[in-house]
Amino acid sequence: MSDAAVIDPVELSQRLIRCPSVTPIDGGALDELQTVLQELGFTCHRLTFSEEGTPDVENLYARLGETAPNFCFAGHTDVVPVGDSGAWTIDPFAGEILDGDLYGRGSSDMKSAIASFVSAAQRFVEDQGGTPPGSISLLITGDEEGPAINGTVKVLQWMTENGESIDACVVGEPTNPDTLGGMAKIGRRGSFTGWLTVNGVQGHTAYPQLADNPLSRLVKMMAPLAEEQLDQGSPLFPPTTVAIASIDTGNGATNVIPAKATASFNIRFNDLQTAESIETWLRETFDAVGGDYELVTACSSNAFVTEPGPLTDDLIAAVDQVLGVTPELSTTGGTSDARFIRAYCPVVEFGGVGKTMHKINEHVRVEDVHRLADVYHVMLTRFFDRARD
């Protein structure tokens, strides 16, 4: 490792926040990160991926060391839009500190985690006399908050094609609901979305016998989704949940029976279900009502879990050593790019506090940024100590 300046994770977080990297715009965030990593001796690969119908996305894969094992940190520099900028107490891209809190879009989700890991990696390599006992890498995408088509999944494919492999990974998503150290994610529920269209015959509401009201059938079709519970959960997952997102006819008249009605819904499912089993249940439910309908479905990921083992042990021990608490190992919440990484190596998620992510006045405690770097430092130490045993 070169004689680079000591990295302050808060200062690096501020520099990354000041890059307005709203998906899919990079805003200079990867340039900022690459400069720091190259000064630390990392070999950096800037990877731009394209696919018809989606914007091009820049990504970064950086590695220090050439031997196994390879401990990878995965994250994203892209952020969601700021919303009403006038409602923010502080400019959302100023990266300012107020009363011990670091404000800015991406401060929680998840630029401070990236900065914390870079700081931890520098400290760990210095502990080793300048050469890591293996490799440390970062997989950073600009497409996590977007469609996730030209990001992590394609970086992983590129890595395979170029002989790059990883042995363990921590994703820096803001996993903690309230306080740092409260929760880590060892898996995620699957996400299944459906769009239902029920076709009928338009007519006058005074003469319903002359029409076929699609809303009557749609309501019956949707009732089990609102009322039934698919399962009671499993040892590592909560029960499957169904949320109806919209019901619409596009009908502005009160005396007209519409020709069709549509509904959309999302199902977050555990390891007792699959996309196939859910679709079978839906079609059986809708067929029981009958009539002319169309169902379009999409599944972004099946449920997955990293069974408790050496990697989760390292995380639990690191959190306990630094923070004096034991994190809950959870599979709750939405999804993340861990759903792609889990096919390549064991993966856990641990980052800052997510209470304000995606909100107006997103912020993190300055103290938490430093403590998160300490947790990552201990994780690296434990991981490579195990590899040497």
* Enzyme catalytic residues: 78, 144
Which residues share a beta bridge with 365?
Answer: 101
The rounded distance, in Å, linking the Cα atoms of 216 and 294 is 16
Over the Cα atoms of the chain, what is R_g?
24
Are 71 and 168 spatial neighbours (Cβ–Cβ below 8 Å)? yes
The rounded distance, in Å, linking the Cα atoms of 69 and 358 is 35
Are 166 and 72 spatial neighbours (Cβ–Cβ below 8 Å)? yes
For residue 354 the two structure tokens come to: 């997510």
**What is the DSSP code (8-state) at residue 86?**
G
Are 246 and 196 spatial neighbours (Cβ–Cβ below 8 Å)? no
Q: What is the DSSP string of 277-341?
A: HHHHHHHHHHHHH-SSEEEEEEEEE--EE--SSHHHHHHHHHHHHHHS---EEE--SS--THHHH
How many other β-carbons are positioned within 10 Å of the β-carbon of residue 29?
Answer: 27
The rounded distance, in Å, linking the Cα atoms of 316 and 181 is 9
- C-alpha closest to that of 9 among 114, 142, 127, 101: 114
Summarize the chain as % helix, strand, coil (round to 5): 35, 30, 40
The rounded distance, in Å, linking the Cα atoms of 188 and 329 is 11
Which amino acid would we find at residue 14? Q
